Amino acid sequence: MFYIYPLSRVMWISVSEPAFGLGNYALLFTSPAVQRILVTTARICAITSLLTLVLGYVVAYAMVHVGEGHRQWMLFCVLLTFWLSVLVRAFAWVMILRPEGPINAALLGLGLVTQPLALVRNETGVVIGMVHYMLPYAVLPLYANMQGIDRRLVAAARGLGATPFTAFRRVFLPLNMPGIVGAGLLVFVFSLGFYITPAILGGGRTTMIAEYIGIQVLTTLRWGLATMLASTLLITVFLMLAIMSRFVSLRRLFGAA
Amino acid sequence: MEGRRGLGYGVLLAGAWMVLSFLVAPMAVVVPVSLTDRRYLSFPQDGLSLQYYVNLATNDVWLGAIWQSVVVAIASTIGCVVLGTLCAVGCWRIGSRLAEGVRALMLMPIIVPSIVHALGFYRMWIDLRLLDTFTGVILVHVVTGFPYVVITVSTALATFDPRLEQAARNLGASMTQTLRLVIVPCIMPGILAGAVFAFVHSWDELVVLLFITSRKLYLLPRAIWAGINENVDPTIAAVATVLMLATLSGLLLERYLRRRAARGGRLATLVARDTRRRRRRPSDPRLIDALRTGGRGSRRRYRARSADDSGLAPAISWPGARVARAAISPRSHRPCRTPP
């Protein structure tokens, strides 16, 4: 009750303020500012999901193939990031990526660049921070899925004369597909509504939808626009989940995470 | 695959560890910054200094923020655990389509982007005059955090033998007694896991806080947020280091406890098997030795296990659970008297 009511309030305001009707939703198609935000959000989320998936896949794939002790350490690293405060992580990235930070200092010292690269307060910074935040969310479901695959099948393919790469591509990868799609969509859905990391690492220049909504409500007080965007976000997320539920059991995915 | 550890395997390992160091490395940067001897955010130049830890421990703003966060997190964890456990047990008891629906609904606060429900709570809290109050914040954290408890407790209940509950009821326990003495002890691991999730959720939540608190309430995440945006005071690096160490030690503790439990569990199984074979105390001298030196945990487990060896449930030594288990164990059903 306490949850559903506020949510439906948001949906209701989106069609009733400032004037009753779908006027707010028309802004989706007419306002260049809103469109720019949507495009930025979609682009950043897509890049983030793709990078996260690739990096997470490497870790998960290594985790099923190494020995027990080794695996424990890898899992430990993933869980450590998983549990660490999102603010602490964003702060650490600001420290590393800023113009006086260690990366720029190293690059300058080596003479690779003549002036500090702009790594933070732009899209690069946001993507790096978000990939860092999302990696555990990709690794854990991927790992769970890979564990369920019978590895003797790959061995059988090898025994029948397939090269390692063919065995991987024709046998392991198809079996792994539900996990990959599930993890990818999970990361995408979570990054769509991400507020804190983009706000800190974007530094007000790269604005994603969640931060834009926040600005609309807290400083410019345009509730109609803000709730319209929030509803759009909500509907998009549920559409994504509807697609996702065709591939994987949602409850398993969230129970594991 | 297993036996062939060629070049590909090496590349894979190197890649994986590169990604993992990408995960862990950023945290390493925060520690030296927190030890800086300068007055702004920087690496230490002419030596280390603990001044920002001293500042953290004496500064009223930071201490107030930490204190408020602790109060809110503990209160909302208690709320989450009570509500979540009752909800999960209720759904498990009903066990119908309705319960499935409720459980699906439970996932919503986890899935819905926090900015969306932040707007909703903000609007509603204005009407209810709950803005900037402890009640308001705790209520939000309970509502958005208790699904975690529902999930972990439901998982624990999935392995709980429903006959234990029937047996307890059959022996005359009331519903409350059954819940308190039989069900709750058996699903304790699930409840504890849920409590950890709820606590961390409340401790780390910022988006809703930005909307529903202003002057009176200044919780730790907001203090850190403000610190990052100002980007000058190195105290924030000290805070970050402390939080990191807390996370690290929490994880290490969990790992240690699980290992100990696994060791104790293995020992208990061996003892139980040996006892069953001899129908008496354990005979294998190595086992007796292990019991004597194996620590308190394993001995307690051994005692619980030998009280009945029906092997139905894992070794749990709470009195209520044992009574219930004894009632359904085949041995106690051996008819002493033929029923009329």
Distance of alpha carbon A231 from alpha carbon A208, whole angstroms = 15
**Which residues in B lie closer than 8 A to residue A102 (C-beta atoms)?**
29, 43
Q: Quote the mean pLDDT of chain A.
A: 84
How many contacts, defined by CB atoms under 8 Å, are there between A and B?
A: 199
How far apart are the CA of B307 and the nearest CA of chain A, in angstroms? 35
Give the pLDDT score at A55.
93
pLDDT exceeds 80 at position A253: no
Mean of the per-residue pLDDT values for chain B? 77
Instruction: List chain A domain ranges.
Output: 23-65+122-253
Summarize the confidence of residues B275-300 as an average pLDDT.
54
A237 → closest Cβ in B1, B113, B124 = B113
Mapped to the 3 state alphabet, what secondary structure does chain B carry? Answer: CCCCCCHHHHHHHHHHHHHHHHHHHHHHHHHHHHCCCCCCCCCCCCCCCCHHHHHHHHCHHHHHHHHHHHHHHHHHHHHHHHHHHHHHHHHHHHCCHHHHHHHHHHCHHHHCCHHHHHHHHHHHHHHHCCCCCHHHHHHHHHHHHHHHHHHHHHHHHHCCCHHHHHHHHHCCCCHHHHHHHHHHHHCHHHHHHHHHHHHHHHHHCCHHHHHHCCCCCCCHHHHHHHHHHHCCCCHHHHHHHHHHHHHHHHHHHHHHHHHHHHHHHHHHHHHHHHHHHHCCCCCCHHHHHHHHHCCHHHHHHHHHHHHCCCCCCCCCCCHHHHHHHHHHCHHHHCCCCCCC
The CATH number of B51-270 is 1.10.3720.10
- A131: pLDDT strictly greater than 90: yes
Give the pLDDT confidence score for residue B311 in this predicted structure. 36
Which of B15, B24, B231 has its CB closest to that of A77? B24
Mutation choice for A interface testing from B1, B9, B34, B214 by most A CBs within 10 A: B1
Mean pLDDT (whole number) for A217-239 = 85
The pLDDT-based confidence of A255 (bands split at 50, 70, 90) is low
**What chain B residue is nearest to A105 in terms of C-alpha separation?**
B43
- Residue A199 CA to its chain's centroid (Å): 15
CATH architecture of A23-65+122-253: Orthogonal Bundle (1.10)
Peptide bond into A18 cis (omega under 30): yes
Residue type, B145: G
pLDDT over threshold 60, residue A41? yes
Please report, as a single letter, which amino acid is at residue A97. Answer: L
pLDDT in tens, B163-179: 888 888 888 888 888 88
Report domain extents, chain B: 51-270, 276-335
The residue with tokens 């307890």 is: B168
What percentage of chain A's residues is helix, strand, coil (to nearest 5)? 75, 0, 25
Nearest by Cα to A62 from A70, B226, A171? A70
- Please give the residue of chain B at the shortest CA–CA distance from A165: B8
pLDDT-derived band at A33 (thresholds 50, 70, 90) equals confident
What the block records as the tokens of B282 is: 């354990």
Contact at CB, A87 and B224, closer than 8 angstroms: yes
With bands split at pLDDT 50, 70 and 90, how would you rate the model's confidence at B182?
A: confident
Q: Please give the DSSP secondary-structure letter assigned to residue A116.
A: -
- A74 in Cβ contact with B238 (< 8 Å): no
ipTM: 0.83
B33–A164 CB contact, under 8 Å: no
Phi and psi based region of residue B308 (left: phi greater than 0; alpha: psi -120 to 50; beta: remaining): beta
Judge whether B78 and B143 are in contact, CB under 8 Å: no
Is the predicted pLDDT of residue B255 greater than 80, yes or no? yes
Q: In this predicted structure, what is the pLDDT of residue B284?
A: 60
Rounded distance, CA B141 to CA B114, Å?
A: 12
Q: Which helix (H) or strand (E) holds A103?
A: helix A102-109
**More confidently predicted of A186 and B301:** A186
State the nearest Cα–Cα gap between A34 and chain B, in angstroms. 17
- Cβ within 8 Å, pair A63-B16: yes
Answer whether residue B312 shows pLDDT above 50.
no
Give the chain B residue whose CA is nearest to the CA of A101.
B42
- Put simply, the answer to whether A87 touches B123 (Cβ < 8 Å) is no
What is the pLDDT at residue B272? 64
- Dihedral sign, CA of B25, B27, B30, B31? negative
Cα of A30 to nearest chain B Cα, Å = 23
Comparing CA positions, the residue from B53, B1, B279 lying closest to residue A158 is B1
Read off the pLDDT of each residue in B105-119 and give the average, rounded to a whole number: 85
Quote the CA–CA distance of B197 and B195 in Å, as a whole number. 5
Kindly report the CA angle at B126 between B121 and B127, in degrees rounded to 5? 100
pTM greater than 0.90: no
Q: What is the pLDDT of residue B267?
A: 63
B106 pLDDT higher than 50: yes
Count Cβ neighbours within 10 Å for each residue of B27-45 and write b for 16 or more, e otherwise.
bebbebbbbbbeeebebee
Q: What angle do CA B71, B75, B77 make, to 5 degrees?
A: 120
Q: Return the biggest CA–CA distance within chain B.
A: 92
Q: How far apart are CA B322 and CA B326, in angstroms?
A: 6
Let me know: does A116 contact A108? Beta carbons within 8 Å: yes
Q: What angle do CA A94, A95, A99 make, to 5 degrees?
A: 85
